[in-house]
Amino acid sequence: MSSPNTPQEEPFNESQPENEVNIVNIHASILREREEPRDGYEPIPLWLITVFFAVIFWAGIYLAYYSGGFSKEVYNPDLVSWQGGGSAVAAGPPDPKVIGKRLYTQNCLVCHQSSGQGVAGQFPTLVDSEWVVGGDWVGDNHLVKVLLHGLGGPIQVKGATYNNAMPPWSQLKDEQIAAILTYIRSEWGNNALPITPEYVKTIRDQSQDRSDPWTQKDLKAIPSETIPAGGAAPAPAETAPSAPAEQPAA
């Protein structure tokens, strides 16, 4: 009596009040049918469209954040400040402490650590070290010399003895050495005057003929010197490093 295709097979009968309902049912069941899938044609799934636009949206945000304003200045290693958003132009001379920190990270951190504390027994600390901020016999001239030519043999730092080798950094420019030293002299609670590029140049010129790393003994023979507050070149009182014969009272 009841066939599976009930709506279609039922004879159309106006007398039946459910006829209208049946027509709606018939249409509903037809509308429910999907088109036969054709070979080679697939609608793009909704999730793929969503992902596509989500990725484009993300890429736009990423570009806005990290494009560096599409400026060639992003490759300028000396640039310190980004003035006025997109136009990346350094205003005034770069801050030596910012440059110094960067150079310290590149050149010194591996041994002296980011804390400046070094490694006990191997790499001496720079924090409150007499070599960095000045001490009884150590002056600013000695510090610059250590950077320019390196240091080897037994040394005392804050009462502890080290006997290792520190490489020379003469390949760095005067401004770079000055920036590093200015940084380590004002970081980690250190508080000593900045070292100027002119002062580094003065010391470099003085010890041009030296090729070996310094030893504490050699350095002690050179009277200590403090960088003048104005950063001007110091008085030419220093003895030639290779011939520390005449020794004014330190």
Separation between Cα atoms, residue 61 and residue 17, nearest integer Å: 62
Cβ nearer to ligand HEC, comparing 88 with 172: 172
Query: What's the sign of the alpha-carbon dihedral 106, 164, 151, 193?
Result: positive
Cβ nearer to ligand HEC, comparing 126 with 200: 126
Find, among 130, 136, 142, the residue nearest to 207 by Cα.
142
Report, in Å, the least distance between residue 146 CB and ligand HEC. 5
Report, in Å, the least distance between residue 229 CB and ligand HEC. 21
Report, in Å, the least distance between residue 62 CB and ligand HEC. 35
- At 90, list the tokens: 């350094």
Place of tokens 């484009």: 56
Binding site for ligand HEC (CB under 6 A): 107-108, 110-112, 123-126, 129, 131-132, 143, 146-147, 151-153, 155, 157, 162-167, 169, 180, 184
- At 211, list the tokens: 């090729």
- At 73, list the tokens: 């200045």
Separation between Cα atoms, residue 144 and residue 58, nearest integer Å: 49
Cβ nearer to ligand HEC, comparing 88 with 132: 132
Cβ nearer to ligand HEC, comparing 149 with 202: 149
Report, in Å, the least distance between residue 194 CB and ligand HEC. 14
Other beta carbons within 10 angstroms of residue 157's beta carbon come to: 20
State the residue number with the nearest CB to ligand HEC.
108
Report, in Å, the least distance between residue 238 CB and ligand HEC. 19
Separation between Cα atoms, residue 193 and residue 239, nearest integer Å: 23
Q: Are 166 and 136 in contact (CB under 8 A)?
A: no
Report, in Å, the least distance between residue 85 CB and ligand HEC. 34
Cβ nearer to ligand HEC, comparing 88 with 100: 100
Cβ nearer to ligand HEC, comparing 101 with 112: 112
